[in-house]
């Protein structure tokens, strides 16, 4: 197993030096879902939630979060992002799964370090925004199965999660 890169030889936390790393096209994709009551999902789909367009606002929140990741995670590098996309899939309850919204956050840059943290931050904030906007009608919502799905670019190459489809729960 590799050593943790955010600690120096004395065990002190530091920002990793990426100056010698090649600038490459880098992509990070994260996915997860928020489970809710069927009535809450119906409210979101109808666009009649008291606070407005839940998914539209959650999308903007996720994009903003990706851009602010280095302000939130202490040792992340500030990055010039070239693309942030937040996508939602509505999942209706059936015998095997709960009502939910599945979110995918895709972040891209051309630079010396990856965008996995930006994708994960965008995902979490988008889902938290859905929770915030709907908590008046459903405090029992659960944010779950958030993880890195894919990473491409850089010296370490690509990573694709072994079980990519978490929509079913």
Q: What angle do CA 23, 103, 97 make, to 5 degrees?
A: 140
Rounded distance between C-alpha atoms, residue 137 and residue 148, angstroms:
30
Which residues participate in catalysis according to the annotation? Answer: 132
Rounded distance between C-alpha atoms, residue 65 and residue 82, angstroms:
14
Tokens, residue 9: 């030889």
Rounded distance between C-alpha atoms, residue 128 and residue 85, angstroms:
17
* Residue 139 burial class via C-beta count within 10 angstroms: exposed 0-12, middle 13-18, buried 19 and up: exposed
Q: What is the pLDDT of residue 108?
A: 98
Q: What is the pLDDT of residue 22?
A: 85
Q: What is the pLDDT of residue 27?
A: 98
The answer to whether 12 touches 6, Cβ cutoff 8 Å, is no
Q: What is the pLDDT of residue 168?
A: 54
DSSP state, residue 115: -
Residues of the chain with pLDDT under 70: 1-2, 4, 49-51, 164-169
Q: What is the pLDDT of residue 3?
A: 74
Phi, then psi, of 146 in degrees rounded to 5: -85, 125
């Amino acid at each position: 197993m590799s050593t943790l890169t955010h600690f120096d030889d004395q065990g002190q936390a530091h920002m990793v030096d990426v100056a010698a790393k090649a600038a490459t096209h880098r992509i990070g994709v994260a996915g997860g879902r928020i489970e809710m009551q069927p009535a809450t999902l119906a409210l979101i789909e109808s666009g009649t939630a008291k606070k407005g367009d839940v998914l539209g606002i959650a999308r903007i929140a996720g994009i903003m979060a990706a851009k602010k990741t280095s302000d939130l995670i202490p040792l992340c590098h500030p990055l010039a992002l070239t693309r942030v996309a937040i996508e939602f899939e509505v999942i209706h309850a059936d015998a095997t799964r709960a009502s939910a919204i599945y979110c995918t956050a895709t972040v891209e840059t051309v630079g010396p370090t990856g965008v996995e943290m930006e994708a994960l931050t965008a995902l979490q904030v988008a889902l938290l925004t859905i929770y915030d906007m709907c908590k008046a009608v459903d405090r029992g919502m659960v944010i779950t199965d958030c993880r890195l799905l894919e990473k491409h670019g850089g010296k370490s190459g690509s990573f694709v999660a072994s079980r990519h489809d978490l929509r079913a729960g």
